[in-house]
Amino acid sequence: MNYSTQIDSEGFSILNNVFTENEIQNIISLIENKTADNPENNTFRKSQDLFAIRQFHKEIPETLPYIFNQKLQDIIETNFGKGYFITKSIYFDKPEKSNWFVAYHQDLTISVEKKIQTENFENWTVKQNQFAVQPPTEILQNNFTIRIHIDKTTKENGALKVINNSHSKGILRIEKLNFESEKETICEVEKGGIMIMKPLLFHASNKTTNNERRRVIHIEFSRQNLPNGLEWSEKTILQN
């Protein structure tokens, strides 16, 4: 299953039927068990509009054998090659009545273990004792994200909207995009499907309008070593 041409040209690709119903149910059970046991965990963020688990692959590592089934491993290797590792993961649960939306943006930061002033690494921030920084553009250009859809995702329950090919323009202020001439796609994905996207692709998410839940596992990948002693804070090597 080679979608690399589409990912390069459009900035994203949607692949359905990557996970079986049984694999999805196993992932859901592990998440529900963990969240029931740890309601006060500070890497969990819960509100009426959003429930999120940061560092998901470290918080619930038991999910990884189900997530990295043979199909997903083959997709990664066929489209990107070998040597990729996880650099960040987040579980998002957009509840049935969520009025939360996200405006168009690019994913411009990476998580690192500690702050080391380094040329072309800019806009340092710290959240939950974790440092984030905007790396040089070429690092972002060579990374990719996979979003695993635990629920059927449609425009009515907050599917991502993207601006096709916007990743090819580099880091850009949103005002520089001429929406009149750009192509926008609503990325509807079946339960058990995935969306692959490039970090520099402009993407957004609308409010939920159909009272249906939308759960997604967002995983970012790289195979690049960082300079000057900087280390990926969530780096996890994939085990076959």
pTM of the model: 0.93
3-class secondary structure, 107: coil
**Domains of the chain, first to last:** 4-237 (2.60.120.620)
SS3 content of the chain, % helix, strand, coil (to 5): 25, 30, 45
Q: Decide if pLDDT at 179 tops 60.
A: yes
Q: How sure is the predictor about 94, in pLDDT bands with cuts at 50, 70 and 90?
A: confident
pLDDT tens sequence across 213-224? 899 999 999 999
User: Is 190 exposed, middle or buried, given 0-12, 13-18 or 19+ CB atoms closer than 10 A?
Assistant: middle
Cα(87)–Cα(110) distance, integer angstroms:
8
- Return the higher-pLDDT residue of 95 and 47: 95
- Return the higher-pLDDT residue of 176 and 38: 176
Q: Decide if pLDDT at 240 tops 80.
A: no
Angle at 229 between CA 225 and CA 232, to 5 degrees: 50
